[in-house]
Amino acid sequence: MSREQELLTKWHSLSEEKQEEVLDFIEFLSLKNTVNKNPLGERLQQIRTRIVASGKHLLDEDEIEKELASRTGGLQSREE
């Protein structure tokens, strides 16, 4: 069995919540490889790692916008 097949087999056996954790971890690894190594970037990665490890939900882009809107008094239209 190839590594890819093994990964997919294990992936399908996970709950949706655990699959989300795996995706978060992969995203973290990807960012870790691309972020410039500077003290602030490294500190932010450490904070993110602790949040993910704690099981807390990370906000996606839409949730961030809603959070910002709730703090500023209304929805802001996103320019794309």
For the ranges 10-19, 21-30, 32-41, 62-71, which has the lowest average pLDDT? 32-41
Check whether 58 has a pLDDT greater than 60: yes
Q: Mapped to the 3 state alphabet, what secondary structure does 29-52 carry?
A: HHHHHHCCCCHHHHHHHHHHHHHH
Q: Specify if 50 maps to a domain.
A: yes
Q: Specify if 4 maps to a domain.
A: no
Q: Specify if 11 maps to a domain.
A: no
Q: Specify if 77 maps to a domain.
A: no
| Structural domain for 37, as ranges | 16-72
Report the pLDDT value the prediction gives residue 5, as an integer from 0 to 100. Answer: 92
Q: Specify if 8 maps to a domain.
A: no
Q: Specify if 62 maps to a domain.
A: yes
Flag whether the pTM goes above 0.75.
Answer: no
Q: Specify if 24 maps to a domain.
A: yes
| Structural domain count, the chain | 1
| Mean pLDDT of the residues in the chain | 83
